[in-house]
Amino acid sequence: MMEKFKEWYEKRHDYAQEWKNKTGGKVVGYFCTYVPEEILYAAGVLPVRILGSHEPQDVTEPHIFGMYCPFCRDCLAQGLKGKYDYLDGIMIAQSCLHIRQTYTSWKIHKPVDFSYYLPMPNNVQSKRSLPYLKGELEVFKKAVEEWTGKTITDDDLNKGIEIMNTSRALTRKLYDLRKESNPPLSGLEAMYAVVASQMVDKKDYNETLQELLEKLPRRQLENSSKIRLMILGSEDDDTEFVEMVESLGAIFVVDDHCTGSRYFWNEVSSNGNPLEAIAARYVERVPCPSKDWPERTRIEHIKKLAQDWKVQGAVVIQQKFCDPHELDIPAIIKSLKEEGIPAQFLEFDVTVPIGQFKTRVEAFLEMLGEEDLY
C-alpha cells in the first residue's frame, strides 16, 4: 500500500487522465495550498496540485524571471512542455508573487477552458480577512457553477468539506505514528503519501490510507536507533534528497512544508455556514510565511512539532531566491537553537547536488551524534 502512494506520485499524469476517462469529469490544476479544494470537490471537479519534475529545463527563460524560485520555474516548465495538457482549468489563490507569475505565464501561453485567480488575503491576521475571503469564496463558487453548469448546494459543500477533512484526519494519524520511538514508516514514505494526496481523488486516497492505518502499527522498520530529524522550509517534494539523508542513519519524523504538514494540518469546522467555515479554515491554518505577519505565529508551531515528535536536529531548506522563507529562516533557526535543536541550512535548486549535500548532512549527523542528543 505504501507503494501505491509512490506510484500515484510518479504516475500522476496517468492517474489524472484515467480519472477523466473513467468519470468524464473535469480536472483543475492548482498552484498553491490556499486553493479551497472543498469547493472543487463540491462541484465534482478533481483538484490536482501542479508540482515540478526536478529535471533541468530551458523553456521558462523567456517567460519568468531567472531569479524567481526554481520551484516556480519547474512548475511552469511542466505546463510549457505539455505535461499537463489534460487539465481543463488552472487556478491559484494569492500567496507569494513568484508562484503567481507561474500562473499568469501559464494562463497566457497554455490557455485553458477555466482559469481563476482567487484573491486570498495576505494579512490573514486582520479581522477583515474572514468576511473578505467569505465574499471571495461566494464569487469563486459562482464562477465554478457557471463553468461546470452545476449548482453547488450547501449539501454539496458539506460533502466537499467532509472528504477534505477525512483526508486531513487520516494523514494526521499517519503523522502521529511517526511520534513512536521506532516509527513504522520512513520520512520518504510519508512524503510520498502526503504529496500523492494532493494529486489523486481524495476518495481513493482516503480508502487506501484507512486500510494502511489498520496495518501500519504492526510494521517494524529495521533500525530503531536512527537520529530523529525534522525538515522544514520552502516547498519540497525532493524524494531523492530525503532518501539520501535517511540512508545515513537518520529518519525524518515530521516536517513543516506546504507540500507536507501545512497542507493538511487544520480542518474545516462542520458547524454553521459552509462557505464561512471554509473561509475560516484558510484564514486560520498554519500559514505560509508570505502571510505570517505582523506576528510570526509559525515559529511556535514549529517548536511544538519539534517537541511532540522528539526531534534531535532540523534540516532547514530554502528554494533558491524564495523570499518569504528567506525572511523567516534566521528567526526559525535561532528559536530552534534556543530549544537545543541544531539546524542544518541547505539551499535547493531544480536539481540538488546530492553528493555535496551528502557530505554536509554526514557532518551534521556526526555533530548530533557527538552532542549525544539522542
> Residues in the site for ligand SF4, rule: CB under 6 A?
69, 71-72, 96, 98-99, 234-235, 290, 319, 322, 324-325
Closest contact distance (angstroms) between CB of 297 and ligand SF4 is 16
Q: How far apart are CA 184 and CA 303, in angstroms?
A: 23
Query: HSE (CB half, 13 Å, CA atoms) of 64?
Result: 30
Q: Which is nearer to ligand SF4, 145 or 326 (CB)?
A: 326
Closest contact distance (angstroms) between CB of 232 and ligand SF4 is 12
DSSP state of 62: T
Closest contact distance (angstroms) between CB of 75 and ligand SF4 is 8
Q: Which is nearer to ligand SF4, 33 or 115 (CB)?
A: 33
Rg (CA), the chain: 20
Q: Which is nearer to ligand SF4, 197 or 234 (CB)?
A: 234
Q: Which is nearer to ligand SF4, 110 or 257 (CB)?
A: 257
Scan for cell 457553477, then name that residue: 145
Q: Name the grid cell of 320.
A: 533558491
Cα dihedral: 233, 236, 239, 245 (round 10): -10
Give exposure, 72-110, as e/b (b: 16+ Cβ within 10 Å): bbbbbbbbbeeebebbbbbbbbbbbebbbbbbbbbbeeb
Q: Which is nearer to ligand SF4, 201 or 235 (CB)?
A: 235
Query: 3-class secondary structure for 195-254?
Result: HHCCCCCHHHHHHHHHHHHHHHHHCCCCCCCCEEEEEEECCCCCHHHHHHHHCCCEEEEE
Closest contact distance (angstroms) between CB of 31 and ligand SF4 is 8
Q: Which is nearer to ligand SF4, 42 or 322 (CB)?
A: 322
Q: What angle do CA 194, 196, 197 make, to 5 degrees?
A: 65
Closest contact distance (angstroms) between CB of 263 and ligand SF4 is 13
Scan for cell 515530521, then name that residue: 254
Q: Which is nearer to ligand SF4, 49 or 325 (CB)?
A: 325
- Do residues 263 and 269 touch, judged by C-beta distance below 8 A? no
Q: Which is nearer to ligand SF4, 156 or 238 (CB)?
A: 238
Closest contact distance (angstroms) between CB of 8 and ligand SF4 is 22
Closest contact distance (angstroms) between CB of 289 and ligand SF4 is 7
In the chain, alpha helices (H)? 2-10, 12-23, 37-42, 70-80, 97-109, 129-148, 154-177, 187-196, 202-215, 239-246, 261-264, 274-284, 298-308, 323-338, 354-370
DSSP state of 58: -
Closest contact distance (angstroms) between CB of 42 and ligand SF4 is 26
Q: Which is nearer to ligand SF4, 302 or 368 (CB)?
A: 302
DSSP for 283-320, written as a single string: HHSSPPGGG--SS--HHHHHHHHHHHTT-SEEEEEEET
